[in-house]
Structure 1
Amino acid sequence: MSDTKVYLLDGGTLVIDGYHVFWNRGPAGEIRFPVYSILVEHKDGRFLIDTGFDYDHVMKVLAFEKPIQSKDQTIPGALALLGLEPKDIDVVVNSHFHFDHCGGNKYFPHAKKICHKSEVPQACNPEPFEHLGYSDLSFSAEAAEARGATAQLLPGTTRANSTFEGIEGDVDLAKGVKLIFTPGHSVGHYSLMVDFPSRKPILFTIDAAYTQKSLETLCQASFHIDPVAGVRSMRHVRKLAEDHGAELMFSHDMENFKTYKTGTQFYS
């Protein structure tokens, strides 16, 4: 792992209405969008940013989002395509704890875990309009207990996947791998920028901007806690991309996702 490599782990797709993708703007109608995790192979270890959605949870709680997820699109399945297992991941970073970003956390009881210091407390006591967003509590025994639920344990696992290092502000995970604090979508949301020796950086907006159109129009998704902070974060992401000559990659943009390298392909 001498040179940095970035893999996009295809996690399947979900559906929401256009007025949720483009808040107060639309147009209405079902939009099927991708969900993916980001695996950074670095000389300092393997960093997994987000863990996608859990199909069973979505079918139980949010079946209206019509999940599609094959075996190869689960976190263990996507890693297996690369010849890896969950135990090969050193660090799991959650950009935030909405259900489509933490559903696979339970597969990593061994890994160091990182999130913004405000995200677990928010999951413990979300605003009324955030309950579906923070509905999958399998990532945290603390959040599950606070919400009257039980954190999910995999067979043979003796402890919940629930100890996190809380961070704030921009943070370097490793040389050339930087978390960018972009609040608004959630209280502790992070985007990600990765530098490479021989190509332009990649700036992953994650949910600061669902799509390219979102960023171009500064129209965020309806799932947010602070729309003013969200617009500010979108402007910040756009400026960072301009200043660093970075390629932008979006979290839930199907047209762009079709052009992204996934599976065994990688960016380096």
Structure 2
Amino acid sequence: MTRKYLTAMVALLGSVLSSTALSAQDLKLYVFSSGALTLGKGFLVNGAPMEPAIQVPVGFYVIKHPKGNVLFDTGNNDKIITDPGYWGAAFTALKPVNTPDVAIDTQLKKIDLTPDDITYVVVSHLHLDHGGNVAKFPKSTLVVQKSELQNFFWPEPGTGSNYVLGDVLPLRGNMTPSANAVKMLQLEGDQDLFGDGTLVVKRWVAHTPGSQMMTVRLKNTGLTILTGDNVYFRENVEQNIPPSTPLVYSTSGFYSAFEWIRREMATQKANFFTAHDPDAFKAMKKAPEFYD
């Protein structure tokens, strides 16, 4: 290996590290709420009681990156604010908070953004409380696992009850060459969104056939893992407790996700954010405050 080659490699590595450091320095992570659902904890956590019912948040996140704004999950469809019947029986069963202040446009205004300002919309999966508003971002690129889209329209047995057809159907183009009404990255694995290691989508089949998580590398906060429904409560990871059986597509996928998160916490001092843990969510900074 020549000295010239080594010098070039060192320069390249330095450039990559400098780029990552700059991006990480400029990143801001914001926490939002799309309202809440009311249900028994046992519906989410295996062995937990079904009574009394508890109210769980419906969280979603925005990351401001020098190269664009990234939305992780989209919450409940805003249609239920004016039309509770849009969810059918699920509205009665889940009793969602549907006041006007939880609308995603209203939430984004807290940090001076509109749906048109979002570069990527990353959905952990397409259930009604995570992919509800995916159609409200026509100028964004949707980042979704191809297997999740397939399961949305043709669900495997026992996996179709939490999808709402009207949420995603507007994304299907009509007689267009691409057959998509919006830009999409239909993934079949992981994806480094900006190529600098700060935002990495990680395919992790557990809750659904196409569930995914995302890592956010922040300068001061450190590595933060956005889990979607691959983790409901912090106790799932800390005590290795699986979710309730009806919400499990892959039991081994859940356990491997928990193990991976614990390893990242031990080796990189990582933290993880869930969408539905009421105690953990209450303790988080809420937009317009942020993590950096």
What's the TM-score once normalised by structure 2's chain length?
0.80
Alignment CA distance shift 1:247-1:58 (3 Å) = farther
Among 212, 218, 227, the alignment partner of 1:205 is: 227
Cα distance per residue 1:201-228 (max 9 Å; x no partner): 2122221110111112322323121222
**Which residue number in structure 2 is paired with residue 186 of structure 1?**
208
Aligned partner of residue 195 in structure 1, secondary structure: strand
* Cα distance, 1:33 vs structure 2: 0.6
- Aligned-residue Cα RMSD (Å) equals 2.4
**Aligned residues between the structures:** 254
Q: Distance in 2 between matches of 1:124 and 1:70?
A: 30
Among 243, 263, 271, the alignment partner of 1:247 is: 271
**Which residue number in structure 1 is paired with residue 122 of structure 2?**
93
Q: In the alignment, is the contact (CA less than 8 A) between 2:30 and 2:63 conserved in 1?
A: yes
Among 114, 122, 136, the alignment partner of 2:143 is: 114
**Which residue number in structure 2 is paired with residue 166 of structure 1?**
186
* Cα distance, 1:132 vs structure 2: 2.1
AA in 1 matched with 2:62 = L
Verify: 1:12 aligned to 2:22, yes or no.
no
* Cα distance, 1:136 vs structure 2: 4.4
Greater mean alpha carbon deviation, residues 44-53 or residues 77-86 = 77-86
> Greater helix share, 1 or 2?
2
* Cα distance, 1:193 vs structure 2: 1.3
Which 5+ residue runs of structure 1 have no aligned equivalent?
146-158
* Cα distance, 1:184 vs structure 2: 1.1
Q: In the alignment, is the contact (CA less than 8 A) between 1:186 and 1:225 conserved in 2?
A: yes
Q: In the alignment, is the contact (CA less than 8 A) between 2:171 and 2:181 conserved in 1?
A: no
**Which residue number in structure 2 is paired with residue 214 of structure 1?**
236
Q: Distance in 1 between matches of 2:33 and 2:120?
A: 19
**Which residue number in structure 2 is paired with residue 123 of structure 1?**
152
Larger radius of gyration: 2
Q: Distance in 1 between matches of 2:258 and 2:152?
A: 23
Q: In the alignment, is the contact (CA less than 8 A) between 1:7 and 1:265 conserved in 2?
A: yes
**Which residue number in structure 2 is paired with residue 265 of structure 1?**
289
Aligned partner of residue 79 in structure 1, secondary structure: helix
AA in 1 matched with 2:112 = G
Verify: 1:51 aligned to 2:79, yes or no.
no
Cα distance per residue 1:24-68 (max 9 Å; x no partner): x11222121111111010011001111001234664240210101
* Cα distance, 1:141 vs structure 2: 4.5
Q: In the alignment, is the contact (CA less than 8 A) between 2:28 and 2:63 conserved in 1?
A: yes
Q: Distance in 2 between matches of 1:143 and 1:122?
A: 15
**Which residue number in structure 1 is paired with residue 13 of structure 2?**
none
Which 5+ residue runs of structure 2 have no aligned equivalent?
1-22
